[in-house]
Amino acid sequence: MPPAKIIIDTDPGQDDAIAILLALASPDEIEVLGITAVAGNVPLALTAINARTVCELAGHPEIKVFAGADAPMTRPLRTAEHVHGDSGLNGPALPAPTMALQPGHAVDFIVDTLRTEPAGTVTLCPLGPLTNIALALDKAPDIAARIKEIVLMGGAYFEVGNITPAAEFNIYVDPEAAKAVFACGAPLTVMPLDVTHKALTTEPRVQAFRDFGTPVGDAVAAWTDFFQRFDKDKYASPGAPLHDPCVIAWLLKPELFSGRHINVEIETQSDLTRGMTVADWWGVTDRVANAMFIGDVDADGFFALLTERIARL
């Protein structure tokens, strides 16, 4: 089988960075057509730098990186420096990237790529707020039918929320964009907190990256060390959830995951529950299923895959 063609839409973020590394380490299965940066964990100016920093760390300065939306569709931007640090990639000291941003807007790259590549061959992998994807769908509604699949990190049902008691960060930041994406009709696979909170780092799992003795292994360990302090304090957990790498791991080894094909709607109105993913896990409505909503992962298998692939870089 030829490698799956993907566009990674991202707001790096340490866990976004590890997801990008996992994709770039897997060229037999995944061809990264481009990376589109969006405002989220930190402002766009930083996410557009961070995406390129990660490509250069991976030894892939040829990857096309585009800057996209600098704010949600209708709301002010909410960022997460309290989790990711002021650069978004706090942890290791990495050189500023020398590769250039591509000319043009990320939204145009998404639209043009979906119109140029054969229909049903391009998978979108959003790892941040869904602003760029929703703007692309708004600008060019014809692309919805050409998307092979959208595999995104966002939302929660059993875990409810992380940025508010009711909402997960990526969906909360731009709920109007999320609503448009969940309604677009393209096949959708969702990695909510319910599963990502099971993909937890532990000291032995982080040590495995350190043991490579490579710049990439050291960076992954240092990112994880920084990122996990927040979750350890908050949840008294052994480590940090590697949210965004679950998206790429699903493309590589879907058998590691399990979930249900269900209806998921996005709350945009209520002040209390804005950004909530209202997931009909128990099938108590007759609303039409629109998403494969993942609930469980073989965490040992996930980390074995991640470790084996990151070691290649």
- Binding map of ligand BDR across residues 39-58, x = CB under 6 A, - = no contact: --x-----------------
Any contact of residue 161 with ligand BDR (CB under 6 A)?
no
Asked whether position 123 contacts ligand BDR by CB under 6 A, the answer is no
Q: Considering only residues 53, 123, 162, 268, which one is a binding residue for ligand BDR as defined by CB under 6 A?
A: 162
Q: CB under 5 to 8 A by kind: which of ligand BDR, Ca ion, none does 152 bind?
A: none
DSSP labels for 165-177? TTB-HHHHH-HHH
Q: How far is the CB of 286 from ligand BDR (least distance, A)?
A: 30
**Dist CA 55 CA 40 (whole Å):** 19
**Judged by CB under 5 A, does residue 217 bind Ca ion?**
no
Structure tokens at 76: 């002010």
Range list of β-strands (E), the chain: 4-10, 30-37, 65-67, 122-126, 147-153, 188-191, 257-262, 264-266, 277-279, 291-297
Task: Mark residues 244-263: x for contact with ligand BDR by CB under 6 A, - for none.
Answer: x-------------------
**Partner from Ca ion, ligand BDR, none binding residue 177, C-beta < 5-8 Å depending on class:** none
Q: Which does 49 bind (CB under 5 to 8 A by kind): ligand BDR, Ca ion, none?
A: none
Selection from ligand BDR, Ca ion, none that 80 binds (CB < 5 to 8 A by kind) is ligand BDR
Q: How far is the CB of 13 from ligand BDR (least distance, A)?
A: 4
Closest to 187 in 3D by CA, of 221, 149, 222: 149
Site membership for ligand BDR, residue 170 (CB under 6 A): yes
**Rounded Cα–Cα distance for residues 109 and 152 (Å):** 18
Interface mask toward ligand BDR for 72-91; x: CB under 6 A: --------x--x--------
Among 13, 85, 88, 241, the residue binding Ca ion under the rule CB under 5 A is 13
Q: What tokens appear for 1 in the block? A: 């089988």
Q: Does 245 bind Ca ion (CB under 5 A)?
A: no
Kindly report the number of other CB atoms within 10 A of residue 279's CB atom.
21
Angle (nearest 5°) at CA 67 between 51 and 35: 50
Active site residue 243: yes
DSSP state of 183: T
Instruction: For residue 241, give the DSSP letter.
Output: B
Residue owning tokens 């099971």: 198
How many residues bind to ligand BDR according to rule CB under 6 A?
15
Nearest to 149 by CA among 301, 7, 312: 7
- Asked if 226 and 90 touch (Cβ cutoff 8 Å), the reply is yes
- The strand ranges marked E within 111-229 are 122-126, 147-153, 188-191
- Give the interface with Ca ion as residue ranges (CB under 5 A): 11, 13, 16, 127-128, 244
**Residues within the interface to ligand BDR (CB under 6 A):** 13, 15-16, 41, 80, 83, 127-128, 153, 162, 168-170, 243-244
Active site residues: 243
